[in-house]
A and B are shown apart, each in its own frame.
Chain A
């Protein structure tokens, strides 16, 4: 069983083909890393999952269901989304950022507070950050809050678009730990887009190596790293993990 299936998915922008027909799946309950260089199409692939982009042909299925045409908002609320640089709304406090959609969903104030504090705790953020605005927070704190926001509605699937690449290496390791902790605790599947194979090795059980819109190799992380299927994957592994 997969959390996401790409079934013969094709996508092009203004005549430039990004994918001619991708056929790959991401296992349920695991974190799948989509690894590739800039322009490999990895972010496009991610945005096909929550309907930010629509495939020209083929089908994307999430938990076995095709992406709905109507009620896309509700569908998206069931999927967490975090991006590089956190993408916090500058006019909202940390708490308002994290709880925005829960409030739109008309959660009771108590359950909003309870969930918010739980996430702060899990991400090891002090309670004082709640009323601060993003510009008053460090890059690491912002990134953790971005993850809190993605997790707020208890999604079963998280989409992560290089959310760790804008913070320094020491901070990054801390966030990795918190992410792994929260992932296992909440039982969430993940799709992580990254150009960093070491990050993929650290966080993902499953790997999809993408180049020029074509899947070069996919499989369990260790298997891919141990037995690269072609020269491209072999050189990627050699250059990044040497």
Chain B
């Protein structure tokens, strides 16, 4: 009797703990910053929610590198990935599934069954233009070295992108980079001649484009599938398995068209897609579509939080550092040099470097912004302190002020306008750069800008860009007022 009741207790406790852990640990789903990735991630999210799981959406992360880093670092539990991207771009291995699965196992990851479609790369141009030049195959491009080839930044450097393609086909063109979604516009306007396409892009149909035949079979297959951490709950993996072979090439193109051309929200599209599949289970709940006003407030507050925290830290550290080193010219130059070096790291790269150290999300973003803010603060503070009239420093010393008193009562107040100018520059730079924080899931006004860019939705872009510009201007004015007040006093 006693034995039985204690077993019952243990079982009850275990169940309770399991429930708790399900409730306490949401499944974190990432996506790359283009509509198809967002949609697939949203479908996975709603599928899990319909089955009682709590989900955290970390969508629109800045590209393959950041998603993969986030997954291997346990910052997210899954994101939609493509087989070809894994074999060619990330792991650099032979393009067959057995090799891929074995290699992923070593990394502690698992690629689930293919969702169905193959979203390969293709080289595309206007149908009329292709007919005019008599182009059919990728190799034909070699006869027209004057064609203006502009491709996405990621594509330029990928081994399965232009870097490999030009070698394989002997293409002589000089390529430049452009945001993928903008390339179609440029193609239509005739500003560029050739770009790369994802073969499930809705634009191919809508803009009447031709995808050149890859007769050398250069591009591998890019089957989409959920890429998950191997330690993900088995039941979750099983559930995601339901997505296997549910979306064909043409179906994916149609779904993409709903987002890009019908301007539907991916939540709606995902729900419409899932409803027949879920049948009696039904969707978790009717979700609220994003609301323009509340989004604006949330994004702006987050933006202020990111820049405010970074700026505050940079002021404290930057000024502290300046006070420590300004008397030593060599040391001061060294510090300024190091700060300058940090400034030269491209923001996306810096954000990516942050992930292994601080994960994705606001901590990484704040630290990256902090590093960018240091240079203007340190440089201006050191310059301000060094340029204080040496006679005044001598007088202060001769009057019997200690080093600390000289700093507090003479040097810092006199250098204040310069120090302030540095903080002001750092603040404005931070507000601009913080829009990139959206790449690592830190939110802010970059969120609407990034999704607007990938959907060619000017409205959405402006929802981020206008408030960001207003913030920058308000900050400028605020500093101007403070500076004027300070100037009046001195």
A interface, CB within 8 angstroms of B? 50, 52, 73-77, 79, 81, 83, 85, 87, 89-92, 100-101, 104, 133, 149, 159
Contact = CB atoms under 8 A, between A and B. Distances in A.
B394 A73 contact: no
Interface string B381-418: 00000000001101111111110010001100110100
Contact of A76 (B397, B410, B414, B489): B397
Contacts of A79: 398
Contacts of B399: 76-77, 81, 100-101, 149
B291 interface: no
The 7 A-B pairs at the shortest CB distance, nearest first, are namely A77-B400, A76-B400, A81-B398, A91-B490, A87-B395, A91-B413, A73-B400
Given A100-B409, A133-B490, A89 B401 contact: no
Interface of B: 391-392, 394-402, 405, 409-410, 413-414, 416, 489-490
B490 A90 contact: yes
Contacts of B402: 73
Nearest to A84: B391
Nearest to A91: B490
Contact of B392 (A52, A74, A87): A87
Given A89-B410, A90-B414, A74 B391 contact: no
Contacts of B392: 87, 89
Q: Is the interface of B mostly helix, strand, loop or mixed?
A: helix
A104 to B, nearest CB: 6
Nearest to A149: B399
5 contacts: A73-B401, A87-B395, A89-B395, A89-B413, A90-B490
Contacts of B414: 89-91
A74 B397 contact: no
Given A87-B392, A89-B410, 7 more contacts: A76-B399, A83-B395, A85-B391, A87-B391, A91-B490, A100-B409, A159-B398
B395 A81 contact: yes
Contact of B405 (A75, A81, A85, A104): A104
Most chain B C-beta atoms within 10 Å of own C-beta, residue among A52, A89, A149 = A89
Nearest to A101: B399
Contacts of A81: 395, 398-399
A93 B410 CA distance: 13
Query: Max chain B CB contacts within 10 Å: which of A76, A77, A91?
Result: A91
Contacts of A87: 391-392, 394-395
